[in-house]
Amino acid sequence: MTKGVDVDLENVWIRFGDFVAVREANVNIKGGEFFSFLGPSGCGKTTILRSVSGFLEPSDGKVRIGGKDMAGIGPNKRPTALIFQNLALFPLMKVWENITFSMEVKGASKAERRKRADELLDMIALPDQGDKLPSELSGGQKQRVAIARALCAEPDVLLLDEPLSALDLKLRQHMRTELREIQQRVGITFIYITHDQGEALTMSDNVAVMRAGIIDQIGTGHSVYNDPATPFVASFVGENNVFRGKIKSIDGDMALVSTNRTGELLARIATSAQGKMNVGDSAMMFIRPEACNIAEDISPAANRFTARVKHEEFEGQIYNVFLEGAEGKEIKMSLVNVGKQRQSAEDNNLTLEYMPDQAVVLPAGELASE
């Protein structure tokens, strides 16, 4: 298999008339990396993918694949293969013809194609299914055929446009593992588009989080989750409780935020905001539900707050406790189920505590809409 090559976006702008779909994107994707673009629908992530695959020319900036400028090179001449959201399997061709279409257009003989198809069918664990039509396959099987078809073209870069979105939950989770395995086996660069943060975090080496045409943050799944660069990233990637307030004091990389309803709370300033925040700035503080715990000591402190419990949910491995927050919002706390029946605290006040370095302060900004 070919070794993956770098994909670089340099200051890429993509405009449709007056509408700016992608604004000043600068991304460096290393060869052999599993890279995801994560964002809500309409954020421009598919547009970026189409500019890499060659269906779109950027209005400004450069797309380089393997260091080579791709301007003016059509999709059929680029070393990329795209797996479409709806898979786009050719309905009138048999499975093996689908898989080896890239060889057919280059004029490979039928025997050659047949042989290669059988290899790939073995690889995707669908031996002897080559003579079926795509319509006779199940969703997961189609998925694998689409992957095999793309791999058959021996691309340097594989582009995947939300390929799992049509599958049901179980299959989706299974395919995540499988995709990751395939990527490691073939060793080429994967660029993956998704709005599902679970997919992005489980599979990717690096994730770019996008909002309305802007890339907010690029980093490993870990850093995106634990050290978000913007309130949008903090609220879009995973669940988060938001506390609005003003910076009361700063001490090194820790800040004290005074909030209306829950008093003064201590938290770590996010890496991207360190040295940029001043006392009196309006800020947002984020605490993950799983970072909260029931306080043993209920005396006021900068890592504790008290609120009334609205309702509780039992979800199996965890209990979710919803407390009354500011502006009608709820504060969510997740407690691990340790096997004991929990005493319900509904309608009572409850004091929560958290580790201050697990909470993040950012300058106030736009949140992801629910």
Partner 1 sequence: MRTNSLLPRLLIGAYLVVFFGYLLGPLIVMSITAFNSPSFPKMTPWECLTFEWFDVLARDERILTGIENSLIVGVGTVILSVIMGLSGALMLTQIWPKLRATYYTIVIAPILIPGVVLGISTLVFWDRISIMLGMSTGGILHNGIFLTILGQSTFIASYCMLVFIARLQRFDTGLTEAALDLGATPVQAFRKILLPFMKPAIGSAAVLAFLASFENYNTTTFTFGKFPTLTIELAQKVRYGINPSISALAFIIIVLTIIGALIHEIYRRRQQLALANGAPVAAVSGGFQLPKIFRGNPAAIILVLLALGGASTIWFSQSYSPGVCKMDVREQKRLIQEERIKEIRAKRQLELQQKQLKSPDSSGDIKSDAPVTQSPGKGAFGNVFDPGNLDKAAPKSETEKPAESPGKGAFGDVFAPKNLDKATPKDD
For the residues of 245-302, what is the DSSP string, one character each?
EEEEEEETTEEEEEESSS-EEEEEEPGGGTTT--TT-EEEEEE-GGGEEE-S--S--T
Nearer to partner 1, 121 or 153 (CB): 153
CB 104 within 8 A of CB 97: yes
Q: In sequence order, which ranges of 32-165 are alpha helices (DSSP H)?
A: 45-53, 95-99, 101-104, 110-123, 139-152
C-alpha span between 121 and 128 (Å, rounded): 8
Asked if 206 is part of the footprint of partner 1 (rule: CB under 8 A), the reply reads: no
Could you give the string, one character per residue 96-115, with x where binding to partner 1 holds by CB under 8 A and - elsewhere?
A: -----xx-xxx---------
Of 188, 175, 92, the C-alpha closest to 139 is 175
Nearer to partner 1, 141 or 220 (CB): 141
Report the Cα 191 to chain-centroid distance in Å: 11
Asked if 57 is part of the footprint of partner 1 (rule: CB under 8 A), the reply reads: no
Cα dihedral sign for 161, 219, 185, 54?
positive
Q: In the complex, what is the shortest distance from the CB of residue 149 to partner 1, in angstroms, rounded to a whole number?
A: 7
Asked if 73 is part of the footprint of partner 1 (rule: CB under 8 A), the reply reads: no
Q: Binding residue for partner 1 (CB under 8 A) from 73, 133, 295, 345?
A: 133
Asked if 120 is part of the footprint of partner 1 (rule: CB under 8 A), the reply reads: no
Q: In the complex, what is the shortest distance from the CB of residue 31 to partner 1, in angstroms, rounded to a whole number?
A: 20
Point out which span in 73-81, 221-229, 256-264, 328-336 binds partner 1 (CB under 8 A): 73-81
Q: Binding residue for partner 1 (CB under 8 A) from 84, 318, 319, 357?
A: 84
Q: In the complex, what is the shortest distance from the CB of residue 138 to partner 1, in angstroms, rounded to a whole number?
A: 12
Residues 6+ apart with CB under 8 A from 270: 227, 228, 229, 234, 360, 361, 362
Q: In the complex, what is the shortest distance from the CB of residue 95 to partner 1, in angstroms, rounded to a whole number?
A: 12
Give me the phi and psi of 119, to 5 degrees please.
-60, -50
CB 30 within 8 A of CB 3: no
Could you give the string, one character per residue 134-163, with x where binding to partner 1 holds by CB under 8 A and - elsewhere?
A: --x------------xx--x----------
C-alpha span between 102 and 81 (Å, rounded): 10
Element (DSSP H or E) covering residue 223: helix 221-226
Asked if 51 is part of the footprint of partner 1 (rule: CB under 8 A), the reply reads: no
Other CB atoms within 10 A of residue 218 CB: 20
Asked if 65 is part of the footprint of partner 1 (rule: CB under 8 A), the reply reads: no
Nearer to partner 1, 76 or 317 (CB): 76
Q: In the complex, what is the shortest distance from the CB of residue 164 to partner 1, in angstroms, rounded to a whole number?
A: 17
Of 52, 43, 54, 47, the C-alpha closest to 16 is 47
Point out which span in 53-61, 175-183, 256-264, 290-298 binds partner 1 (CB under 8 A): 53-61
The footprint of partner 1 on this chain (CB under 8 A) covers a number of residues equal to 28
Binding site for partner 1 (CB under 8 A): 53-55, 74-77, 80-82, 84-86, 88, 90-92, 101-102, 104-106, 132-133, 136, 149-150, 153
